[in-house]
Structure 1
Amino acid sequence: MLSTLRFESKDVTRVEETWKQFVPSAVLQNVDPQRFRFEWRSAELADMSVVEYALAADIRSVVEPEDQLLVCRVESEHVELGSGHVDIDGSRPWLTEGRQVWGRWEDDAKVRALIFDRVAAQTLARRMSGNDAYRVRITGLAPTGRSAAEQWERSFAYLSASFAQAGPEDELILAGLRRHALWVTLTSFETGFREALEGAVQLRPATTTLRRAIDFIDENAHHPITIDDIASAVHMSTRGLQYAFRRSLDTTPADQLRRARLDGAHRELLHGRAETVGQVARRWGFAHPSRFAAAYRLAYGVAPSATLRRGRDD
């Protein structure tokens, strides 16, 4: 279930209490209440959250997340970040799974964060990597390089905008966003995830396995499944499944799932019982109506609105 929150406040206590709902260890220290101004926006699923807030204050903040993965970016003209006596580059995001991180800044700051329940993230990471022995191990707070930091920033902007547009009923879309958020986090930092991916390829999948995978997709496309769920259902690694589809069918499991969902939307439009094209698109996991319309026209030769009109006339 998706829960969203947005507010502005000058009440330091309320702000700290709200932040603690997401990161229980969070503490705001040395706050000047005369200068304090706060804007908050968040989206929360059962096991992950997307948080953005803007602060106007001279402040010191401390986080030491327990049972969480926290990746954060503090954007401010005058910011100091560190963990113990180790400095953190304030121009890039940082990741912690329990190590205390402190921040100190003056004037205005914008904070962006992804927060994952550690147990749920571990489970999903194993499914994505196809390695049941994989453990999320963070060997450094900093991203692997400049390009990785920039990729995380771009992905956060995409996730923030997508969560803002999503509703609780958009289960298929939310499942994809959750997977993307964890994937980009684990691949942007030293977590051992890339190594787990590289060792997970199954080179000689049986044709029957592909048939089972396609059957699973067709039967479950209306549920919030991902390619990791498909791989798990046929007892393969995600990388192995991708290799199998590419080698035997010259496609990917993601494309196969997308086609199955497009077909489901087509059938629903054809029956003429849909409210609007946009609602049908979102129900089948297509967050962008224009992209859905383009894909639909390519697949069926007509606009989805034409199919809906035809269904209503029949």
Structure 2
Amino acid sequence: MGELLTLESRDVGDVEETWHRFVPSAVLQRVDPRTFGFSWTSASLPGFSIVRYQLVASVQASIHPEDQLMACRVASRGAWIGTPRGDLNAGMPWVALDGPTTARWQEKADVRAFIFDRALAEEDARRLTGDDRFALRATTIGPSPVSRDVGSHWERVFQHAAGSLFAPTQPDSAIIEAELRRHALHTTLAAFSPAFRRALERTAQRRAAPRSVRRAIAYMEEHAHEAITIDDVAAAAGISTRGLQYAFRRSLDHTPMEYLRRQRLAGAHAEMEVGTRAPIAEIARRWGFASASRFAKHYREAYGRTPRQTLRGD
């Protein structure tokens, strides 16, 4: 899924060269090469990268992203994270935006990061909130998570995304990739931006016309087989994501995500009805279900039989 890169090296130059591909502002300022070891894994999607690397060495490094939003965690017993506004809690994830961030650790560290194209992330944040003025800057997103609980949740979402995107044997699914990127961005913004959380709680379009719902339904029925997200559906319907969710609840008593899932189940059902030799897990993934067991559960609820029974013609 995405563009997968793995690298193992004992060459100090490989660290900075590899980091520059993802964060051009990254600089290694002090590296102790005596026990150096470097293990890197990353996956790149349009406008988004996920990175995890282990570095065995005493290191000081800095980044100063301008066109990017980067959320990171340096897991090391001796880690220190500093910004011009003060030191950060090295036991928690942090965000680098509009200013230099310096990290230092002793002996070894496990580094993990989400890296977003800033302009695209800002555009997505505006669609999510329905606020066309929302901007990603130091006044709307802070370097530290709003609480320890949401910081821990960010870590769990990272592990989930890494488990999906770092698995080279999984078949490609643009639908799942789009949802993973959306989930990573939503979690990052919710964890570090009180302004984003407040904007989500406001519903700009509380009197959404049923016409918006009809436009959304038509768009989902036409594009369910593509890598669309609820944000794309809302944009096609001319409404914010929050407004669309409210309109669906009011008009249909379920969420737009539930409707999109039904459309994708119907697509998978039609594919199996006409006959296919593809494994069920492959069909599920092609229609946006990362878990074959969850696909089977939803399918059985919708059609009263299992996917395997459908394939057998039972």
Q: State the Cα distance separating 1:274 from its structure 2 match.
A: 4.4
Q: State the Cα distance separating 1:138 from its structure 2 match.
A: 3.1
User: 1:262/1:244 Cα in 2 relative to 1: closer, same or farther (>3 Å)?
Assistant: same
Output aligned runs, 1:136-151, within 5 Å.
136-139=136-139, 140-151=142-153
Conservation of the 8 A alpha-carbon contact between 2:71 and 2:95: yes
Query: How many residue pairs are counted as aligned between the two chains?
Result: 311
Identity %: 49
Partners of 2:32 and 2:244 in 1: CA distance: 55
In the other structure, the counterpart of 2:101 is: 101
What SS does structure 1 have at the residue aligned with 2:34?
coil
Partners of 1:148 and 1:36 in 2: CA distance: 33
153, 162, 165: which is aligned to 2:164?
162
Q: Which runs of 5+ in 2 are unaligned?
A: none
In the other structure, the counterpart of 1:122 is: 122
Question: Runs of 4 or more off by more than 6 Å in structure 1?
Answer: none
Output aligned runs, 1:64-103, within 5 Å.
64-84=64-84, 86-103=86-103
203, 212, 222: which is aligned to 1:200?
203
Partners of 1:123 and 1:190 in 2: CA distance: 15
User: Residue deviations 1:76-128, cap 9 Å, x none?
Assistant: 01111101361111011111223111111111211010000111111111111
Partners of 1:35 and 1:209 in 2: CA distance: 60
Conservation of the 8 A alpha-carbon contact between 1:41 and 1:51: yes
Conservation of the 8 A alpha-carbon contact between 1:212 and 1:234: yes
Is 2:191 aligned against 1:175? no
Conservation of the 8 A alpha-carbon contact between 1:70 and 1:113: yes
Q: State the Cα distance separating 1:217 from its structure 2 match.
A: 1.0
Give me the TM-score of the superposition, normalised by structure 2. 0.95
Q: Relative to structure 2, which stretch is displaced further, 156-165 or 284-293?
A: 156-165
Partners of 1:256 and 1:197 in 2: CA distance: 21
In the other structure, the counterpart of 2:275 is: 272
What SS does structure 2 have at the residue aligned with 1:34?
helix
186, 189, 194: which is aligned to 2:192?
189
Give me the TM-score of the superposition, normalised by structure 1. 0.95
What SS does structure 1 have at the residue aligned with 2:31?
coil
In the other structure, the counterpart of 1:15 is: 15
In the other structure, the counterpart of 2:5 is: 5
User: Residue deviations 1:255-296, cap 9 Å, x none?
Assistant: 000110011000001110341111111110001111111111
231, 234, 245: which is aligned to 1:231?
234
Is 2:45 aligned against 1:42? no
